[in-house]
Structure 1
Amino acid sequence: MVGATLGCLLAKQGCRVAIVEPYVPAPFSLNDAYGLRVSAISRASQHALMQAGAWSFITDLRMTPYEAMCVWDATGHGEIHFSAADIGEPDLGAIIENQVIQAGLSQAMDSYDNLAFLAPVSVDACHYAESQIAVELSSGKTVTTALLVGADGAYSKVRTLAGIDVQKNDYNQKGLVAVVRTEKAHQLTAWQRFMPSGPLAFLPLNEGKSSIVWTLPADKADYYLAMSDDAFNVAITAAFDQRLGNVRVVSQRVAFPLMGQQAEHYIAEGIALVGDAAHTIHPLAGQGVNLGIKDAVALAEVFVSAKKVDNSPFSLKALRRYERARRGDNVLTQKAMEGFKLLFGNTFIPLQFARNMGLSAVNKVIPVKNEIMRRAMGL
């Protein structure tokens, strides 16, 4: 998603772009079941997707704007509510399946004559010389380019080829995802309950359904995966404190390992990293994709500004501006998410009390709460 967004943004600026994808994407149909992986797309990310030419295609498919958010602590009475109406906005963002975002971006890519999509093709090797990087592809072809962007995920081959080290933090947790139907309406609200074992989020979808993301210790996630649907329904209803009544799973359940990582550098000669190739964070705030799209926007902006000055918009000097613009923000967000994880995972009674008091206090300080909303939306 991040690589396609960047590709469209650069193609819009007149760059010749080739997007290399190791798998042929499956075509999307509105008759398809809801995907298990969704993203909470901020207003800033929506604007970026609009600039890339993908947003109108996405809205023509399916998405669910959410108007409010409710967060509470399972160990006490601390609770905080956010409402878009409080800051004069129609919504806080939109819950969109990753497969829908990808389908919208695919349609956008088709609209650019200067953008080629190569699949199934992967990068085998690369060599930098004389301000150009030669990229050897699995198809047997070699492409020469001014910039190779690694948008190839947490296990980035491009990052490895560039010799960029990465700092890793294995959380020993898994994110269990599924689609559920709730007895009570979700009210276009994103719900999140913090428990010592990890947060449980219910993200609103259409047709009265919700996407759940349940962060659990790895062994506990495996335990819940092995349950029958009926047993899981009882467990998830209890874990969510019956906030939306009885919960019934309507999809398969899948769990994926969680880890945080940060590339020590985002750039090398002729190479830049974006999205999960550069950083991954804990999913408790749902900011992973939004951070990646911020990377794409920043790199595209560096190209535009550098092109006005000289004919080397992807020089190492220009790329350093991208790294300075994004790495600090991403590191800060990662540390904040890990801090939240430690804070809400702590069972020390005085800390639990302080945590609940803090949530309740912030809920009453309207200017602070409104500023939190604006920042989360990217306004």
Structure 2
Amino acid sequence: MDNPAYLTILQGMNTDIIIVGGGLNGPALALAAARAGFTVTIIDSLPVDRRKKPGFDGRSYALALASQRLLRGIGIWDQVTDNAQPMLEIKVTDGRSGEGPSPWMMHFDHAEIEEGPMGYMVEDRHLRRAFLDTMAKDDRITHLPGETVVAQTVDGTQVTVRLASGKSVIGAVLIGSDGRQSGTASRAGVKRTGWGYDQTAVVCAVAHEKPHNGIAHQLFMPGGPLAILPLTDNRSSIVWSEQADRVATLAAMNDDDFLDALRPAFGSFLGQITLAGARFTYPLGLTLANSLIADRIALIGDAAHGVHPIAGQGLNAGLRDVAALAEVLTDARARGEDIGSVQVLHRYQQWRRFDTTTLAIATDTFNRLFSNDNPLLRAARDIGMGLINAAPGLRRGFIREAAGLTGDLPKLMQG
């Protein structure tokens, strides 16, 4: 209660930025904005103890090098670096259950670029704790956990958010970071375009007897892609996309039966495997907000764009939103502009719209091209991967793309 920003809200005065959503993108924006001098209120529907659960639950993220730079810039990276596994190589190939990977592959090695590892694997639990601890130390950030938004209204130069608890928060701009079913977007009348894939992802982690050597594997199986991503301590994160009806069967299995089903697809290159943590499933689809902005509102992360996990770019795209929006708002304030004006928010949309649409098209196309066992398509894509792998210039371009180093990078991601 001694937080000055919180007292400001209780007295009915303004905060600069209101953020709805306490996952990862929302706190990242809160820290980026606070470090630029803004006052920020972040509203999270989950209580702190739920967010800070210390146990490993199998969930992890592939952070591109550009995303790691952002986390360093907002004071998060030093808290998670001891638990971060560098991704030194990426191997991409076709596969069939029980047959192992195709000899045609794309092999990306971080040694081909000067900047360092292409990215890092970090567990969800370490990131969430680091965000919460860092936000708690910043007096410019007010964190309202266990609160839900019931209404939002725009009046002239301010936006007011009303909470289920009866509190109201008033700010210059409202940021929706509340997921694919974003209430912020819905209340603002922002419609969405998208479709399902009739695929469901199984997410878990396995421990294995042989070292992974920092190599990430992407196997394109007939039912959907299987990603094997290196974690610390001889463990790997698994994102196994399969047809929805088969995943229903997999989800109902006990752990031993699930591992028996996984092993033919996973292979034996890491030796014996055992489950490490829980299993999660979530349906896969594409969803894009028709606009990234509305009156005094901007959308980031999954509230703006939800894509297939085929390239592991969901969180990275959200963090690009964070870096771009923080830069736009900071520059606008330096020019004396109203940070919630349509002119300012339009700059954010212009910056991010093409990139997010391109990512959505690319992941959708790759999933449709690779999630099948059509012999003609299989031959064409295998030859294509072989040709890319044999061309150093193309290969280097893919490596830089995987590292998040292409395009118009915001300053927070430039290192």
Q: Normalised by the shorter chain, which TM-score bucket?
A: over 0.9
How much has 1:35 moved relative to structure 2?
Answer: 2.8
Residue pairs, 1:202-213, within 5 angstroms: 202-213=228-239
User: In 2, distance between residues paired with 1:348 and 1:375?
Assistant: 28
Aligned twin of 2:268: 242
* TM-aligned CA deviation for residue 346 of structure 1: 3.4
Q: Which residue of 35, 40, 46 corresponds with 1:12?
A: 35
Cα shift at 1:231: 2.4
Q: Partner residue of 1:66?
A: 87
SS in 1 for 2:47: coil
After the TM superposition, which residues 183-202 of structure 1 pair with which residues of structure 2 at under 5 Å, given as runs? 183-202=209-228
Equivalences for 1:96-175 in 2 at 5 Å?
Answer: 96-175=122-201
1:329 and 1:173 map into 2 onto residues whose CA distance is 24
CA distance in 2 between partners of 1:221 and 1:245 (Å): 24
- CA shift in 2, pair 1:28/1:132, >3 Å: closer
Equivalent AA in structure 2 for residue 69 of structure 1: I
The counterpart of 1:302, out of the listed 325, 328, 334, is 328
- By how many angstroms is 1:50 displaced? 1.6
Give 3-state SS (helix, strand or coil) of 1:335's partner: helix
The alignment partner of 1:53 has SS state of coil
Q: CA deviation at 1:246?
A: 3.3
How big is the shift at 1:183?
3.5
Is contact 1:58-1:103 (8 Å) kept? no
Give the corresponding residue for 2:367.
341
Q: Paired residue for 1:178? A: 204
Ranges in structure 1 where 5+ consecutive residues have no aligned partner: none
Work out whether residues 28 and 100 of structure 1, in 8 Å CA contact, stay in contact via their aligned partners in 2: no
| Alpha-carbon separation, structure 1, partners of 2:135 and 2:52 | 18
Cα deviation digits, residues 55-101 of structure 1 (max 9, x gap): 112225x2211211111111643211111112234411110112211
Which residues of 2 match residues 247-286 of structure 1 at below 5 A?
Answer: 247-286=273-312
Q: Which amino acid aligns with 1:266?
A: L
Paired residue for 1:45? Answer: 67
> What is the CA distance between 1:309 and its match in structure 2?
2.2
- Asked if the contact 2:58/2:276 (under 8 Å) is kept, the reply is no
Identity of aligned residues (%): 35
Residue identity opposite 1:256 in structure 2: Y
8 Å CA contact retained: 1:34, 1:179: no
Note the alpha carbon deviations across 1:215-269, whole angstroms, 9 max, x for none.
0111111111222322222221111233323332233322111121000011111
Q: Which consecutive unaligned segments of at least 5 residues does structure 2 have?
A: 1-23, 97-101, 406-415
CA distance in 2, matches of 1:13, 1:88: 30
2:394 aligns with: 368
Q: Residue 147 of structure 1 aligns to a residue in which SS? A: strand
Alignment-mate amino acid for residue 392 of structure 2? I
Q: Equivalent residue for 2:15? A: none
- After TM superposition, the structure 1 = structure 2 runs for residues 23-38 of structure 1, keeping only pairs within 5 Å, are 23-26=46-49, 32-38=54-60
Instruction: Work out whether 1:21 is the aligned partner of 2:47.
Output: no
The aligned length equals 377
* 2:255 matches 1:229: yes
8 Å CA contact 2:223–2:242 kept in 1: the answer is yes
SS of corresponding position for 2:70: helix
| Partners of 1:72 and 1:78 within 8 A in 2 | yes
- Partners of 2:207 and 2:334 in 1: how far apart? 52
**Secondary structure at the residue paired with 2:49?**
coil
Separation in 2, partners of 1:16, 1:6: 12
- Distance in 2 (alpha carbons) for counterparts of 1:22 and 1:228: 32
1:122–1:272: structure 2 CA closer, same or farther, 3 Å change rule? same
Indicate conservation of the 8 Å contact 1:237/1:246, yes or no: no
Comparing 367-376 and 146-155, the one that deviates more: 367-376
CA distance in 1 between counterparts of 2:114 and 2:334 reads 38
**Corresponding residue of 2:346:** 320
Tell me if the contact between 2:296 and 2:340 (Cα under 8 Å) persists in the aligned partners.
yes
Match of 1:57 in 2: 79
CA contact (8 A) 1:237 1:245 kept: no
When structure 1 is superposed on structure 2, of 312-321 and 219-228 the one drifting more is 219-228
Task: Tell me the secondary structure at the aligned position of residue 48 of structure 2.
Answer: coil
**Deviations for 1:107-144, whole angstroms, at most 9, x for unmatched residues?**
22123211110111111101111111111112201111
